[in-house]
Chains A and B, each alone.
Chain A
C-alpha cells in the first residue's frame, strides 16, 4: 500500500494496524525518453498487472466541442500494425481488458492483463499513439454510434446533466466544456486527427503501471515508445481557470426513465486546487451512509431521510487549478426537491458558522479513509496519480493534520462568499431560484 495517511492522534491502535510497510517504499516517478513513468508493485499474490496511458487531452483542452469524447471512443481502433478487430481478439486471447475513460482534464487508456504480458500491451499502446489510422468509416460505423449513445445516456440522467451544466456555468470555457459530444457540433475526422496529434506529444503522456516496478516499466516504455513513436511538441494547453458561477433551469425530460428525478445542484467553485479542508467539509456534510439500512448520521443524510426516496450528497471535484464543491439534491417530486434544497442550504450555512469538534474529527477520519481507499482501485489510483505526474509533484497521501473545526468553517465561509452555481432540473415553475434558497 502506497498511500496511507496518518490518522489523528486519538487513535493510536488503529494507526498501528493501518500503517503497513508503506511510506518507505512509495515509488517515485521516473522519466523514460520524455515520458513520465511510475510503477506500483502490488502487495500480495496478485497475478494481474495493468498499464494506463494518461494523456492530457480532456475536454478542457479541446479545440472543437466534443472532439475529446470522440477521441476517447477512437481508442484501440485500426493502427498500422493491427485492425481494431485484431486488437480486440488478441486482447481476448491474452485474457486482458482494454478500456478508455475521459475526465475534464485527462484521457486514460487502460489495459489490465495477466502478469508477464506487458510486452504485448505496451506494443498495443505504442502503435495506438504513433500510428492510429483514424479512418473516416471507423468514425461513422464504430465511433459515432457509441458517442451518440453515451451522450443520450448522460442526458437521461438529471444529476449527470446538472453537473455538466454546473461546470459550464462555473468555469465557462476550459473546464466548463461539456464532457459529451453534442449533435449540434459535428466533429470531422480531420478535427480528431489534429487533436490526437497534439495530444500524443511526449510531454503530454504519462504511463502508470501496477504490478510492475518503475525501473522495469521505464525501460519497457523507452524501448516501446522510443522509436520516434510519438511526436515531440508542446502538447495541449488551456487557459487559466476562473470561477464565475450562475444559474440554469431546465425542464425534466418527461420521456426519461423513472429513475430520472427532479434535481437541484448547489455548487461553489474556486480557482485554486482542492484543499484538505474541503475534503473534510465534504465528509462533514456527508450524504453517503456508512451503514446499510441506515440513513447515516451526517447532516445531509439526516435532512434527506425525512423525505422517502430523496437524497442529498456532497461532492468535491478537484482539478489541477480549480475545484468545484457542492451538493446534489434529488427528491421524487419538484416540491419535495425544493424543500430539501432549502434545508441543504441551511446545512451548508450552519457548517460555515461553526462546526462541532467531534463531528470534524469524525469527518477527518472518513476523509483519510476515503483518500486511502481511492487508490486501491485502478480508477481511483489513476485519477489521483495521473494529475500528480503531470504536475511534477511527489506522489504522497493527503495530510489532514492541519485540519481543525475552525479551518473547516473558514473554508466553508470562503466558499459561500463566491457567487453560487445553481442548476435546477425538473418543474421550473416550482423549483427555487438561487436567491429564494437564500444564497
Chain B
C-alpha cells in the first residue's frame, strides 16, 4: 500500500487520491462505491456526455504525452465528446437522457497512460540522480564503523 505522502504527492497530474488506500479495504470500498457513484452523477459531467478522464486537466507535458499515446480511435472519440460537451455548455442544456454516459461506460481510458508516463519520469529522475558507489568499499567502510 502506498504511503500517505505518495498518495498526496506521488500521483503527478492526477492529484492526491485516497483511492488506493480505500481499495485495500473491501468493506470500506463497498460502502464508498455507492457515494462515489452518487457524486459522479451529481457532478453533472455524465449528463453532458463526458467520461471521468475527460475532466483531467491536460495543460501539462505529462498528460499531453499520455494523450499522444492514445490509440487513434480513442483519441477521436475524446475530441468528439469535448465538442459535444462544449455545445451543451453553451446552450445551458444536457443531452437527452438516453445519451448520458452510463456508469459502466465511464471507464478510465487515460489514467493508466498517465500513470505509465509518471512512472517513466520517476525512473528517469532516479537514474539521473543516482549515486554510484563501489560495493566493496562500502562494506569495508561499514566494517570499520561497527567492528
Neighbouring B residues of A137 by C-beta, 8 Å: 68-69
Report the separation of the CA atoms of residues A85 and B124 in the bound assembly, to the nearest whole angstrom. 7
A83–B132 CB distance below 8 A: no
Please name all residues of chain B whose beta carbon is closer than 8 Å to the beta carbon of A136 when the two chains form the complex: 69, 71
In contact, A85 and B69 (Cβ under 8 angstroms): no
Whether B123 is near chain A, meaning CB under 8 Å from some CB there, is yes
Chain B hits for A85, CB < 8 A: 120, 123-124, 127
User: In the complex, which residues of chain B have a beta carbon less than 8 angstroms from the beta carbon of A115?
Assistant: none
**Is A240 part of the contact surface with B, judged by Cβ < 8 Å?**
no
Task: Kindly identify, within residues 128 to 186 of chain A, every residue whose CB is under 8 Å from any CB belonging to chain B.
Answer: 136-137, 140
Chain A proximity of B30: nearest CB distance (Å): 34
A86, A93, A137, A140 interface centre (most CB from chain B within 10 Å):
A137
Say how far A268's CB is from chain B's closest CB, in angstroms. Answer: 47
Give the docked Cα–Cα distance between A89 and B127 (Å): 7
Closest to A89 in B: B127
Shortest beta-carbon distance from A91 to chain B in Å: 12
Bound state CA distance, A89 and B130, in angstroms? 11
With known contacts A85-B123, A85-B124, A86-B127, A93–B132 Cβ distance under 8 A? yes
Over the window 344-360 of chain A, the binary record of Cβ atoms lying under 8 Å from chain B Cβ atoms (1 yes, 0 no) is: 00000000000000000
Chain B: interface secondary structure?
Answer: helix
Query: Among residues 56 to 92 in chain B, which have CB atoms less than 8 Å away from a CB atom of chain A?
Result: 68-69, 71
Task: Contact check, A83 vs B123: say whether CB atoms are below 8 A apart.
Answer: yes
Number of interface residues of A (CB under 8 A): 8
How many B residues, CB 8 Å from partner? 8
Q: How far is the CA of A83 from the CA of B71 in the complex (A)?
A: 21
**Majority secondary structure, A binding face:** helix
Chain A neighbourhood of B124, CB < 8 A: 85
Q: Digit string of B116-145 for contact with A (CB within 8 Å is 1, else 0)?
A: 000010011001000010000000000000
Nearest CB in chain A to that of B119: its residue:
A83
Inter-chain contacts of A86 with B (CB < 8 A): 123, 127
Min distance, Cβ B120 to any Cβ of chain A, angstroms? 7
Distance A85 CA – B123 CA, assembled complex (angstroms): 8
- Whole-angstrom distance between the alpha carbons of A85 and B127 in the complex? 9
Name A315-358 residues within 8 Å CB distance of B. none
Q: From B66, which residue of chain A is reached at the shortest CB distance?
A: A137
Q: Shortest CB–CB separation between residue A374 and chain B, in angstroms?
A: 38
Chain A residues within 8 Å of B69, by CB: 136-137, 140
In the complex, chain B residues whose CB is within 8 Å of the CB of A83: 120, 123
Closest residue to B117 on the A side, CB-wise?
A137
Q: In the complex, what residue of chain A is closest to B127 when comparing beta carbons?
A: A89
Which A79-117 residues have a C-beta within 8 angstroms of B? 83, 85-86, 89, 93
Q: Within the complex, what minimum Cβ distance (angstroms) separates A86 from chain B?
A: 7
By beta carbon, the residue of chain A nearest B132 is A93
Shortest Cβ gap from B116 to chain A (Å): 8
Residues of A within 8 A of B120 (CB): 83, 85
B24 → A minimal CB distance (Å): 26
List chain A residues, Cβ under 8 A from B127.
Answer: 85-86, 89
Bound CA span A54–B69, Å: 32
Give A140 to B71 CA distance when docked, in angstroms.
Answer: 11
Which single residue of chain B is at the shortest CB-CB distance from A93? B132
Question: Please, how many angstroms separate the alpha-carbon atoms of A136 and B74 in the complex?
Answer: 14
A residues in contact (CB < 8 Å) with B: 83, 85-86, 89, 93, 136-137, 140
Q: Which 6 A-B pairs rank lowest in CB-CB distance, beginning with the nearest?
A: A137-B69, A89-B127, A85-B124, A85-B123, A83-B123, A85-B127
Interface residues of B, Cβ cutoff 8 Å to A? 68-69, 71, 120, 123-124, 127, 132
Q: List 16 A-B contacts (CB under 8 A).
A: A83-B120, A83-B123, A85-B120, A85-B123, A85-B124, A85-B127, A86-B123, A86-B127, A89-B127, A93-B132, A136-B69, A136-B71, A137-B68, A137-B69, A140-B68, A140-B69
- 9 new A-B pairs (CB below 8 Å) besides A83-B120, A89-B127, A136-B71? A85-B120, A85-B123, A85-B124, A85-B127, A86-B123, A136-B69, A137-B68, A140-B68, A140-B69
